[in-house]
């Protein structure tokens, strides 16, 4: 199932904040501009939920990559350290994604083929950390949330990643929730717990599910976040 989600909203440039010239770690020559953002969570380009979070971040004026404000500290580090912290962020994202998708797929006591396919597709996107993510997948599949492991991964993600990345994780967990064609009470409750764990209102649950169900997915062309 291919879904398009993202955020949009009022975005302003923060004029008093200096531009970081040629500093973009992604394209290497873009300038990073400090932005202020009131976000809306969107599904299929429709703004769904206004997020009361006003976020400050840096955005590249060339490739449009967005970075947490702590990029300033990161940029003072060496290229090796930058590569390392990018890799760490990706790993934190991948771990939270795979743990929550797997947890969601087993919570109703039945691990469906469609659910497994969604998870394997997600893991494929992380070529260099595939083994580690597969290990997490098997661990959560066998032990569920033992030792609160799934929520620990989500917490780690909440502390390290942008709101956009968290949305991405939750929307993909919602796809797993819908993958076997029926929504069990356990799945609904778990999704609400994930929302709360990510600092979002649990009322957002129904809206996400409604939008995902309404849409005829096959009509959608492949697109990108944002």
The binding site for Zn ion (CB under 5 A) comprises 24, 26-27, 30, 60, 62-63, 65
We find the least distance from the C-beta atom of residue 146 to Zn ion, in angstroms, to be 41
Q: What is the distance between the terminal CA atoms of the chain, rounded to a whole angstrom?
A: 18
Q: How far apart are CA 216 and CA 220, in angstroms?
A: 7
We find the least distance from the C-beta atom of residue 179 to Zn ion, in angstroms, to be 34
CB closer to Zn ion out of 65 and 207: 65
Q: How far apart are CA 177 and CA 209, in angstroms?
A: 9
Residue pair 98/133 in contact (Cβ under 8 Å)? The answer is: yes
- E-strand spans in the chain? 5-13, 32-43, 46-60, 66-68
What does the longest C-alpha to C-alpha distance in the chain come to?
54
CB closer to Zn ion out of 65 and 139: 65
We find the least distance from the C-beta atom of residue 82 to Zn ion, in angstroms, to be 13
CB closer to Zn ion out of 97 and 165: 165
We find the least distance from the C-beta atom of residue 61 to Zn ion, in angstroms, to be 8
CB closer to Zn ion out of 5 and 67: 67
Closest CA to 30 of 5, 77, 52, 62: 62
């Amino acid at each position: 199932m291919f879904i398009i989600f993202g955020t949009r909203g009022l975005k302003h440039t923060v004029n008093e904040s200096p531009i970081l010239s040629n500093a973009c770690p992604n394209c290497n020559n873009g300038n990073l501009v400090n932005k202020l953002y009131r976000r809306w969570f969107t599904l299929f380009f429709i703004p769904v939920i206004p997020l009361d979070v006003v976020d400050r971040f840096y955005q590249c004026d060339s490739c449009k990559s967005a970075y947490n404000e702590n990029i300033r500290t990161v940029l003072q580090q060496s290229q090796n350290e930058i590569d390392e912290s990018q890799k760490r962020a990706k790993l934190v994202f991948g771990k939270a994604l795979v743990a929550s998708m797997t947890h969601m797929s087993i919570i109703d006591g039945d691990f469906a083929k469609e659910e497994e396919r969604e998870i394997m597709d997600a893991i494929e996107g992380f070529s260099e950390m595939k083994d580690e993510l597969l290990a997490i997948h098997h661990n959560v599949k066998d032990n569920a949330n033992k030792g609160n492991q799934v929520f620990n991964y989500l917490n780690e993600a909440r502390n390290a990643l942008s709101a956009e990345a968290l949305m991405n994780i939750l929307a993909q967990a919602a796809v797993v929730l819908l993958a076997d064609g029926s929504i069990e009470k356990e799945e609904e409750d778990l999704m609400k717990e994930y929302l709360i764990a990510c600092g979002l209102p649990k009322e957002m649950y129904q809206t996400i599910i409604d939008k995902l169900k309404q849409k005829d997915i096959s009509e959608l062309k492949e697109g990108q976040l944002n």
